[in-house]
Amino acid sequence: MNSGSSKKNDLWVSEDGINWQEEEKQELFLRQGHVLLVFKDRLWAISGFGESQGLRDVWFSEDGKVWTKTEKETPWPGREDFSAFVFKDKIWMIAGMADENNDWVWKNDVWYSK
């Protein structure tokens, strides 16, 4: 899966959406199929597909430059191409493709976190 794809490890920042500046590269961004959202004044990067497997990690940042990995892996298997959003003071994650023992399957599940 994902053979021939060219994942990038870059982070760009803009204050106006017109002028952009590249920030220092960080390993956490070497992924695809993840979700990035804003919750409780922080940016949250959730799961995705890494070098060779689905990722079960969640990272957060208060400034978009310094990122911290949460202490626990997600309770769901590594996942990409899912939906996530904020609703009623929770982050919700729905469906997507899950990496179950190197076999990718479509899921129809719902998870949330406070």
State the pLDDT at residue 24.
Answer: 77
The rounded distance, in Å, linking the Cα atoms of 94 and 19 is: 34
Tokens of 108: 């129809």
Walk along the chain (114 residues) and give the pLDDT tens digit of each residue.
Answer: 444 556 567 778 889 999 999 887 766 667 889 999 999 999 999 999 888 888 899 999 998 888 899 998 888 888 999 999 999 999 999 999 988 877 889 999 999 999
Contacts of 83-87 with CB under 8 Å at 24 or more apart are 83/35, 84/35, 84/37, 84/46, 85/37, 86/37, 86/38, 86/39
Full-model pTM: 0.81
State the pLDDT at residue 72.
Answer: 85
State the pLDDT at residue 82.
Answer: 93
Q: Yes or no: say if 91 and 39 are a contact pair by the CB < 8 Å rule.
A: yes
State the pLDDT at residue 18.
Answer: 95
The rounded distance, in Å, linking the Cα atoms of 92 and 37 is: 11
Phi-psi sector, 65: left (phi>0), alpha (psi -120 to 50), beta:
alpha
State the pLDDT at residue 90.
Answer: 96
